[in-house]
Amino acid sequence: MDPLAAIKVTFFQECEEQLAELEGGLLAMEGGDHDPEIVNAVFRAVHSIKGGAGAFSLEALVRFSHVFETALDLIRGGDIQADQETLKLLLRSADVLADHVRAARDGGVVDEGRSSAMAEALEALASGMGGGGEADTGDGFDDFVFNPVSIDMSDAPAPADDSVAALLASITGGDADGGAGEADAPASDDAPSQTWHVRFYPQVGLYQKANEAGLLLRELGRLGEVAVRLDASGLPLLQNMNPEDAYLGWSADLTGPGIEESAIREVFEWVEGDCYLDIVREGAAPPVAQASGVDAVGDVDVMALIRAAQAAEVPAAAAAAPTAPARASAEAKATAEPAKAKEAALDAKAQAAAREASPQTIRVDLERVDRLIDLVGELVINQAMLTQRVAECGLQRASSVAMGLDDLEQLTREIQDSVMAIRAQPVKSVFQRFPRLVREIAAMTGKEVRLIMDGEGTEVDKTVIERLSDPLTHMIRNAIDHGLETPEEREAAGKPREGVVRLAALHRSGRIVIEISDDGRGINRPRVKQIAVDKGLISPEANLSDDEIDNLIFMAGFSTAATVSDISGRGVGMDVVRRSIQSLGGRINISSRPGQGSTFTLSLPLTLAVLDGMVVTVAGQTLVAPLTAIIESLQPKACDVRNLGPNAQVIAIRDTHVPLIDIGRSLGYRTVTPPPTEGVALLVEGEGGSRAALMVDAIQGQRQVVIKSLEANYRPVPGIAAATILGDGRVALILDIDAVMVPKPHEGGGAIAAPANGGLDTVGAPTSLAKVG
Amino acid sequence: MEDIVQRKTGDRIELISFRIGDQEFCVDIMAVREIRGWTPATSLPQAPSFVKGVINLRGAVLPIVDLAARMGMAVTEPSERHVIIVTRICDQQVGLLVDAVCDIITVETGSIQQTPDLACDVVKTFVKGLLAMEGRMISLISLDNVLPTLEIEASGAETASILAA
């Protein structure tokens, strides 16, 4: 990949992050959070996308993000009130922006009508309310007039967290009180405020990348009081002027407490290299040149910290969280210079938030991580083999070798856990697509929907996340399309017009649980049953419990939607969802209360690389049964086992009869089934909640095994899901419970009406249905 | 493997020769990854009779093909003395169970003789050429058809027994 393409890939990765931040910020604002930092973050996200897009000459993206940015800037400046209507517009604009980014990345086309309509709406928003003659009304620099003004900071939004303000005020106060005595470093100043001279001469590249000098200068104004002078001396005569060149420069005197050079540089961060920038502090002996800026930043930073510590008297507490005395002593000072303190507090808060939000990360090729996981898997196996060999040698458990091996085992496990954690990602990456989905479906169905998301930080393996997206999308569509009522129906039922769809993720006993719930009408059980009967899925006289009726929706060929709508019900139903969840080693459950809504609960393994298994022996072979499918194990009594038909057996477990399947025979390891009383039965639950008792000869124990593919070097084997390598170095096969339960696989669907030999041989058959046959 | 036969005369290729029963065979050394002793394999359900099962090759699951059974000869009862030749076929690694590995031989491609036209399907499927060495005959094996493909999987076992007849 050539360097530019590589940078472009990174740009688009960052765009995705910015888009997520944008949407998250807008949603927080919609939720009533008026923290100015959120508005800033939203603005920064769009601005970053615009900046990058400019560098790559992505015209459409630049145009749209520019309009968007303009509107956001007015909101940031308080010229536009961010009411609910505005936020809805902004959220839709964020969707369009996402479309633009994706179109730019994948070479697709954006819905032009939608995009331009949105751009017009944004422009209307900006011009309608923000007619304050702001600098950002045009693309070029030649049509705006920049008046050197001192910006009045008193109208800055009040800081939400006044303890930070107090801390900052205490810093200022410390300076005023005893700054001269305490601060003995060469860079100390004897006044609380300091003045910076900033000279800023944009070059043509700055404008080409869609940056605006005006915005940058205004940004500068947020740091403190600023006086800007235009330097038009470079302007040539009109006939010599190239309209696309840059001739103007500005010099600004920035005055305010606690301003650091790094903060100033941050303002110009995006245009570095595209402008001549000179930042000098008043009174500083040698003018700080652009290149040597790092040293100066270091000095100032340290001094600020020292002052903060001394002023607050309790240094550690001051750094971590401001204490009450510090606040009290600072209050008087804070009132003396309220505006400045507030502004400084905002600044500090922004910086703190930035630090918090961006922990140190690196981007790593997924392949490398996977290779590492493979290697660690082999390490685990090797370690287990070594332990077994040592045990075979007859060494005492207390011997130093055995103890060393125990330590090794601990370390190996820790390495395995840590490596798995690298692949783990918060479910947020899937969840963040859903607000948009919900908005679109709500618009299509004319329903009012609020999406509540919870536990987005819950982490799970990347492969699980990738494969969660489709089933979750489908279920959310269903929840809105089928679950929620129209606003009128809801009002009639005495519910709020706005329906709520809740999406929550949490960790529970080594698995991730995801719940999708709605407060809609719940499952219409008589209708579900009627449909199932009509479609021949169950026999009319079948007597089903509520739970079993609810589970009918998971059967193949079942769709409750009376009309096939655009949103859901296009042939793929909940059976597909169930199957994809099960292919991940997960389970899905539904609980529903008429009139109050339904809840789908997914339970999934945290990773697909390892599996908790029950190691069993069958006909001399060692097999692994996935623990998630096993409900219980039991020793069959002769009186509980009954013959049914010519060659099938069932076993009575607490008054229900489930088919008894000999694993050895169904896998073809043996032709004669030994008496069930000599073995152990595993009661398992397969697809659709159907149960069976699997006969094995003996249980060796439970173990976490690393899943190895059989297909890589061979091909799929019926009845076998995958392979693993046990402690003795031999390969053991992992049972495919569902395949084993269905001895003669055939098309599911109508099989329940006539179960063959009492066998539970169809997809999605609830337990009691099997007894009908 | 067919490439070997089509290469220019004068090219020299290296082959690994091995023994099954009283016959000698050889494969291109480039297809061979390693040679190891027999270790007990985990048998696979519903596998063709010539698939002995799978073994652990440093963390990978390696299927073992009994080459004798594959070519329609008697099924091998593996012992400690038997040898597994780990080969790479397309993108898959496959272990070939043989009686013993004999030698590395270097031959000119021109000296590989065409397989005589026999009615036997096994020969047509697996033998790509013959080598005469010091009065012995060594058959050059094509590995392409060693693993059963998905299309014939259902009748894999039958195919082998038909070929044996």
Q: How many domains does chain A have?
A: 5
- Of A165-174, A406-415, B7-16, least confident by mean pLDDT is A165-174
What residue of A is the nearest CA neighbor of B151?
Answer: A715
Distance between CA atoms of A129 and A80, rounded to whole angstroms? Answer: 6
Residues A305, A171 within the same domain = yes
- Of A163-167, A360-364, A652-656, B36-40, least confident by mean pLDDT is A163-167
Distance from CA of B91 to the nearest CA of A (A): 8
The pair of three-digit structure tokens given for residue A710, joined into one six-digit string: 């059989």
Q: Do A377 and B55 touch (CB under 8 A)?
A: no
Residues A118, A184 within the same domain = no
The pLDDT tens digits of the residues spanning A460-475 come to 888 888 888 888 988 8
Interchain CB contact of A340 with B (< 8 Å):
no
**Confidence check: pLDDT of A127 > 70:** yes
For residues A652 and A640, the answer to whether their CB atoms sit within 8 Å is yes
Q: Which residues from B are below 8 Å from A621, CB to CB?
A: 42-43
Q: Is residue A239 a part of any domain in this protein? A: yes
Q: Do A731 and B61 touch (CB under 8 A)?
A: yes
Q: What share of chain A is helix, strand, coil (3-state, %, to 5)?
A: 50, 20, 30
Interface test with A, best of B61, B93, B147 (most A CBs within 10 A): B61
Of B53, B61, B153, B45, give the one whose Cα is nearest residue A718.
Answer: B45
Q: Is residue A525 a part of any domain in this protein? A: yes
Q: Is residue A355 a part of any domain in this protein? A: no
Distance between CA atoms of A686 and A721, rounded to whole angstroms? Answer: 13
Interchain CB contact of A723 with B (< 8 Å):
yes
For residues B125 and A745, the answer to whether their CB atoms sit within 8 Å is no
Residues A453, A541 within the same domain = yes
Strand-pair partners of B108: B12
pLDDT band for position A681 (50/70/90)? Answer: very high
Q: Which residues from A are below 8 Å from B43, CB to CB?
A: 621, 669
- Which residues lie below 8 Å from residue A115, measured CB to CB, with a gap of 6+? A60, A64, A96, A99, A100
pLDDT band for position B55 (50/70/90)? Answer: very high
For residues A444 and A567, the answer to whether their CB atoms sit within 8 Å is yes
Residues A439, A494 within the same domain = yes
The owner of tokens 């039991």 is: A634
Domain boundary among A384, A400, A426: A426
Residues A75, A93 within the same domain = yes
Residues A578, A654 within the same domain = no
Residues A439, A566 within the same domain = yes
Domain boundary among A605, A633, A656: A605
**Average pLDDT of chain A?**
74
For residues A271 and A211, the answer to whether their CB atoms sit within 8 Å is yes
Rg of chain A (C-alpha set)? 34
Residues A500, A410 within the same domain = no
State mean pLDDT over A362-383: 80
The pair of three-digit structure tokens given for residue A175, joined into one six-digit string: 């300076």
Interchain CB contact of B154 with A (< 8 Å):
no
Single pTM value for the model: 0.51
How confident is the model at residue A158, as a pLDDT?
A: 43
For residues A622 and A732, the answer to whether their CB atoms sit within 8 Å is yes
Distance from CA of A700 to the nearest CA of B (A): 17
Interface test with B, best of A710, A714, A724, A740 (most B CBs within 10 A): A714
Strand-pair partners of A453: A503
- Which residues lie below 8 Å from residue A549, measured CB to CB, with a gap of 6+? A523, A525, A528, A529
Distance from CA of B153 to the nearest CA of A (A): 9
State mean pLDDT over A634-642: 87
> Taking chain B, what is the end-to-end CA distance rounded to the nearest angstrom?
27
Domain boundary among A409, A426, A443: A426
Q: Please list, residue by residue across A272-286, b when 16 or more beta carbons sit within 10 angstroms of its beta carbon and e when fewer do.
A: eebbebebbbeebee
Distance between CA atoms of A369 and A612, rounded to whole angstroms? Answer: 22
Q: Do B54 and A668 touch (CB under 8 A)?
A: no
Q: Do B61 and A712 touch (CB under 8 A)?
A: yes
The pLDDT tens digits of the residues spanning A507-547 come to 877 778 899 999 988 888 888 888 888 877 788 887 788 88
In what order do the strands lie in the sheet containing A449-454? A449-454, A499-508, A511-518, A597-605, A587-593
Distance between CA atoms of B150 and A247, rounded to whole angstroms? Answer: 72
Q: Is residue A675 a part of any domain in this protein? A: yes
The pLDDT tens digits of the residues spanning A150-202 come to 444 444 444 444 444 444 444 444 443 433 334 344 444 444 577 888 888 88
Residues A589, A465 within the same domain = yes
Q: Is residue A316 a part of any domain in this protein? A: yes
Distance from CA of A663 to the nearest CA of B (A): 11
Distance between CA atoms of B129 and B122, rounded to whole angstroms? Answer: 13
Write out chain B in H/E/C secondary structure: CHHHHHCCCCCEEEEEEEEECCEEEEEEHHHEEEEEECCCCECCCCCCCCEEEEEEECCEEEEEEEHHHHCCCCCCCCCCCCEEEEEEECCEEEEEEECEEEEEEEEEHHHCECCCCCCCHHHHHHEEEEEEECCEEEEEECCCCCCCCHHHCCCHHHHHHHHHC
**Confidence check: pLDDT of A557 > 80:** no
How confident is the model at residue A308, as a pLDDT?
A: 52
State mean pLDDT over A609-633: 88
- What is the CATH classification number for the domain harbouring A494? 3.30.565.10
Cα-based distances in Å from B148 to A706, A715, B56: 27, 9, 20
Residues A318, A395 within the same domain = no
- Which residues lie below 8 Å from residue A288, measured CB to CB, with a gap of 6+? A261, A279, A280, A281, A296
- What is the CATH classification number for the domain harbouring A659? 2.30.30.40
Cα-based distances in Å from A466 to A15, A451, A469, A477: 19, 21, 6, 18
Of A692, A716, A552, A697, give the one whose Cα is nearest residue A629.
Answer: A692
Residues A621, A744 within the same domain = yes
State mean pLDDT over A30-51: 82
Residues A413, A434 within the same domain = no
Distance between CA atoms of A702 and B101, rounded to whole angstroms? Answer: 41
Distance between CA atoms of B51 and B65, rounded to whole angstroms? Answer: 5
How confident is the model at residue A182, as a pLDDT?
A: 40
pLDDT band for position B66 (50/70/90)? Answer: very high
Domain coverage including residue A481: 428-605
Q: Is residue A422 a part of any domain in this protein? A: yes
- Which residues lie below 8 Å from residue B157, measured CB to CB, with a gap of 6+? B48, B49
Q: Is residue A322 a part of any domain in this protein? A: yes
pLDDT band for position A287 (50/70/90)? Answer: very low
Q: Is residue A349 a part of any domain in this protein? A: no
pLDDT band for position B94 (50/70/90)? Answer: very high
Distance between CA atoms of A384 and A409, rounded to whole angstroms? Answer: 8
**Confidence check: pLDDT of A42 > 80:** yes
Interchain CB contact of A616 with B (< 8 Å):
no
Question: Cβ–Cβ contacts within 10 Å for residue B103, how many?
Answer: 13
- What is the CATH classification number for the domain harbouring A7? 1.20.120.160
Q: Do A725 and B94 touch (CB under 8 A)?
A: no
- Which residues lie below 8 Å from residue A762, measured CB to CB, with a gap of 6+? A688, A690, A742, A748, A749, A751, A752, A755
Interchain CB contact of B94 with A (< 8 Å):
yes
Interchain CB contact of A720 with B (< 8 Å):
yes
φ, ψ dihedrals at B28, nearest 5°: -60, 130
pLDDT band for position B91 (50/70/90)? Answer: confident
The pLDDT tens digits of the residues spanning A298-341 come to 444 445 555 554 554 444 443 444 444 444 444 444 444 555 55
Residue A428 Cα to chain centre, angstroms: 2
Helix, strand, or coil here: A507?
Answer: strand
The pLDDT tens digits of the residues spanning A427-440 come to 888 888 888 889 88
State mean pLDDT over B35-61: 88
Q: Is the ipTM here above 0.85? A: no
